Structure 1
Amino acid sequence: MRVLALICTLFLGGLAQAQTSALRSLDTDYAAASWKAVGRIDFGRGAFCSGTLIAPDLVLTAAHCLYHPDTNQLWSNDEITFSAGLRDGAAVAVRSARNSAAHKGFDPVAPLTAANIAHDVALIQLDKPISTFEVPPFYLHSDRIEPGPVSVVSYGRDRANAQSRQKECQMLAQQGDAMVFDCDVTFGSSGSPVFSHKNGRGKIMAVISGIMEIEGEKRSVGMVLPERVAELRSQLRLQVAPPVAKVRRITVGGGSARNNTGAKFVRP
């Protein structure tokens, strides 16, 4: 990860004047209306991550969210629930998981390298589709990626019951298919969508994999998506599951931090 940290440092000076905005709760119907496809994924009792509909029956999130830290097994599908647009205890739609796949290239016990970040992606197939009239899915960003403004919508510690949005944060650097952002995320924000905003409605550029520290500053990391998501769709069709591995994550969402899943914190 050191190379990625150095690349990020090179970009910091040029983006010093960028207008990164504060994180704000989407606490009204009007504010939340455009982001109903972003929801909370609950695992078992109390653990959660963030996720986004990319098709009527497909939710995009981070691969490490799918691993149960106590049993060293993937969460079973009957323990996974997606609540689209969850706010103050009410969701636009709630669905259980029919199937799920963490990318087979992700190693949950490996260091947070650029290569592992690039594969920290998962898909959850819902038991029933959600109407696109009710909740329009988001498309993936497939254009050229350049440093500059993005936004993020997430759940997290102390804001687990409503979405929060950072209207503008910055993509700082890229190494291979891994990217560094200055977006404000925390425990439980793993799997949150990072949006580009070119040519109309936002498109998902990345999902949040974890958090690292560069020169004393907290930075979030994510990955380029189109190729990884295509590979995950194939995994789901073939019902290929990634290998079981022992892993512990620093997490939040109820109960002790050791029993949940969420954003990873590391120091480069």
Structure 2
Amino acid sequence: MKRLAAVLVLVLVAPLVAADTTGLRRLSDRDDLLGWEAVGRLDLAGKGFCTATLIAPELVLTAAHCVYSKQTNRLLEADQVTFRAGLREGQSIADRQALQIAAHSGFAPGAPMTWANVRHDVALIRLARPITSAQADPFILHDGATQGAAVSVTSYGMGRAEALSRQRQCQILAARDELMMFDCDVTYGSSGAPVFARVGGRGRILSVISGMAQVEGKKVALGMALPARVAELKSMLRRAPAAVPDRRVKRLGVGSGRNSTGAKFIRADGS
């Protein structure tokens, strides 16, 4: 952990001073939710949840560490994972069980929190049935330069598990080597939450939340660049058999050990 903390500090080229960062807004009314239905809560074996986002009618994007069992350190069974699109006060736009789960092979669930793990902390889930665009319009990935440092994040989390919360504006504090650091307000359950870049009239997914850290006494959120990782995961899904009872996509095999189904927290002092 100390090694990561040192790198975090070195990446920064200026003190961690946020500008024009807004607070969270709870999307508790149906009108508030319009346009955000593709962000949903990912329920995990009845023992926790993460945030996930529809990127195609049958594909959901989240963090890799969300889809591992804390007890066995193995990928969860597909029937243990349910995506609840636009969940709001017990009601969702659509509930779909997972059919296949692909976690990136570069993610080591039992390894310490390192840049390599953050960079590869991405998973794709193929749903048993598509969600139509009339129900929830999928978001697309951002591929290219970010216009300015402002982003937004939409997530569930501890204490706000029954409705989405949206932070309209937070900041990219640093970006380097396919890694990103934000001052966005996230917490347990926000793992896998989409970070949106402003492109035209609708945001595009720039990153997903992997975890959080304390740097220079300030809480920061960590994420990764997505296009290459998601392309690799789509390739894994295409190569996997789709007509067998066990729809999990096996990792190509690095790491084992303890993992969690919520956002990961580390501190700069290594604890």
TM, length-normalised to structure 2? 0.90
- Give secondary structure in 1 for the equivalent of 2:19: coil
Superposed CA deviations along residues 11-55 of structure 1, whole A, max 9, x for unmatched, are 336xx3610000111111121111100000011113110000000
Q: Which moved more, 1:208-217 or 1:110-119?
A: 110-119
CA contact (8 A) 1:4 1:174 kept: no
Matched, 1:197 2:208: no
- What is the rounded CA distance, in whole Å, between the counterparts of 1:267 and 1:6 in structure 2? 15
Tell me which residue corresponds to 1:206. Answer: 207
- What is the rounded CA distance, in whole Å, between the counterparts of 2:56 and 2:18 in structure 1? 37
- What is the rounded CA distance, in whole Å, between the counterparts of 1:198 and 1:11 in structure 2? 26
Q: Read off the aligned partner of 1:27 and give its amino acid letter.
A: S
Work out which of the residue numbers 4, 11, 14 in structure 2 matches 1:11.
14
Tell me which residue corresponds to 2:245. Answer: none
- What is the rounded CA distance, in whole Å, between the counterparts of 1:129 and 1:263 in structure 2? 27
Tell me which residue corresponds to 2:78. Answer: 77
Q: Read off the aligned partner of 1:200 and give its amino acid letter.
A: G
CA contact (8 A) 1:41 1:48 kept: yes
Q: Read off the aligned partner of 1:245 and give its amino acid letter.
A: S
Tell me which residue corresponds to 1:264. Answer: 264
Q: Read off the aligned partner of 2:15 and give its amino acid letter.
A: L
Q: Which moved more, 1:184-193 or 1:141-150?
A: 141-150
Tell me which residue corresponds to 1:154. Answer: 155
Matched, 1:172 2:173: yes
Tell me which residue corresponds to 1:253. Answer: none
- In the TM superposition, what are the counterparts of 1:126-141 in structure 2 within 5 Å? 126-141=127-142
Matched, 1:246 2:257: yes
- Give secondary structure in 2 for the equivalent of 1:236: helix
- What is the rounded CA distance, in whole Å, between the counterparts of 1:213 and 1:112 in structure 2? 13
Q: Which moved more, 1:196-205 or 1:50-59?
A: 196-205
- What is the rounded CA distance, in whole Å, between the counterparts of 1:4 and 1:115 in structure 2? 13
In structure 1, the gaps of 5 or more residues are 250-260
- What is the rounded CA distance, in whole Å, between the counterparts of 1:44 and 1:6 in structure 2? 39
- What is the rounded CA distance, in whole Å, between the counterparts of 1:203 and 1:29 in structure 2? 22
1:152/1:266 CA distance change after superposition, 3 Å: same
Moved over 3 A (4+): none
The CA RMSD over aligned residues, in Å, is 1.4
- What is the rounded CA distance, in whole Å, between the counterparts of 2:61 and 2:116 in structure 1? 19
CA contact (8 A) 2:89 2:162 kept: yes
CA contact (8 A) 1:151 1:165 kept: yes
- In the TM superposition, what are the counterparts of 1:26-65 in structure 2 within 5 Å? 26-65=27-66
- What is the rounded CA distance, in whole Å, between the counterparts of 1:107 and 1:229 in structure 2? 17
CA contact (8 A) 1:211 1:265 kept: yes
In structure 2, the gaps of 5 or more residues are 241-248
Q: Read off the aligned partner of 2:8 and give its amino acid letter.
A: L
Tell me which residue corresponds to 2:110. Answer: 109
Superposed CA deviations along residues 205-230 of structure 1, whole A, max 9, x for unmatched, are 00000001101101000000001000
**Alpha-carbon deviation of 1:146?**
6.2
Q: Read off the aligned partner of 1:4 and give its amino acid letter.
A: L
Q: Read off the aligned partner of 1:5 and give its amino acid letter.
A: V
TM, length-normalised to structure 1? 0.91
Identity rate of aligned residues, in percent?
50
CA contact (8 A) 2:73 2:109 kept: no
**Alpha-carbon deviation of 1:147?**
5.8
